[in-house]
């Protein structure tokens, strides 16, 4: 019996890491996304279940983050505008800021993709260590599996993320 328990404990560490990786993630490519429900700034909610059949990007961001501000125009132009008419959604998930700040941030950045609130960074903490930084994108496939993780804003990685999204639509 103890061998079975040891094996189960070992396998659980492979599937659900407890320690963040070197970029702060506690999830990895290939994992099923944790369940979540987001409160959009327009009052609607969206859950992981609502994303079934869509390619989704969760962009973790904050108004105080200079790298986020650098990345957002590229997400708007090169991701949202390119894929929004497909079975696709990009949601900016703002880390622990009040509604008025997030609305102002969205207006300042001139983005048209949906934004969500993340009080206490509780959604963020499902994917990454709560103490790690924002400016990260999580790409989910049509079945809710994590297929790409980015951190910060680096051109090569950003282009690889776009290529992954394009690949998901060609595999359909």
pLDDT digits (tens, 9 = 90+) for 62-87: 999 999 999 999 999 999 999 999 99
pLDDT category, 3, cuts 50, 70, 90? low
pLDDT digit string, tens, across residues 5-59? 444 444 444 444 468 877 789 999 999 999 999 999 999 999 999 999 999 999 9
- b vs e for 132-153, b when ≥16 Cβ sit within 10 Å of the residue's Cβ? bbbbbbbbbbbebebbbbbbeb
Per the prediction, the chain carries an average pLDDT of 91
What would the pLDDT profile of 148-160 be if each residue is shown by its tens digit?
999 999 999 999 9
The CATH superfamily of 26-171 is Glutaredoxin (3.40.30.10)
Domain ranges of the chain: 26-171
Q: CA 79 to CA 29: how far, in whole Å?
A: 20
- pLDDT at residue 15, as a whole number: 46
Q: Which of 3, 39, 2, 32 is nearest to 15 (CA)?
A: 32
Tokens of 149: 């993780």
Give the pLDDT confidence score for residue 37 in this predicted structure: 97
């Amino acid at each position: 019996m103890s061998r079975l328990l040891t094996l189960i404990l070992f396998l659980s560490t492979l599937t659900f890491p407890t320690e963040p990786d070197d970029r702060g993630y506690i999830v990895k490519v290939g994992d099923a996304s944790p369940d979540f429900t987001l409160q959009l700034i327009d009052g609607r909610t969206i859950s992981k279940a609502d994303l079934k059949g869509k390619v989704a990007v969760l962009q973790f961001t904050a108004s105080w983050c200079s790298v986020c501000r650098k990345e957002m125009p590229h997400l708007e132009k090169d991701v949202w505008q390119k894929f929004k008419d497909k079975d696709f959604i990009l949601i900016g998930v703002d880390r622990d800021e009040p509604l008025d700040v997030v609305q102002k941030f969205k207006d300042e950045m001139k983005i048209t993709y949906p934004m969500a609130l993340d009080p206490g960074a509780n959604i963020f903490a499902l994917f990454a260590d709560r103490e790690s930084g924002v400016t990260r994108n999580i790409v989910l496939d049509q079945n809710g599996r994590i297929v790409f993780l980015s951190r910060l804003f680096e051109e090569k990685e950003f282009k690889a993320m776009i290529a992954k999204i394009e690949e998901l639509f060609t595999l359909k």
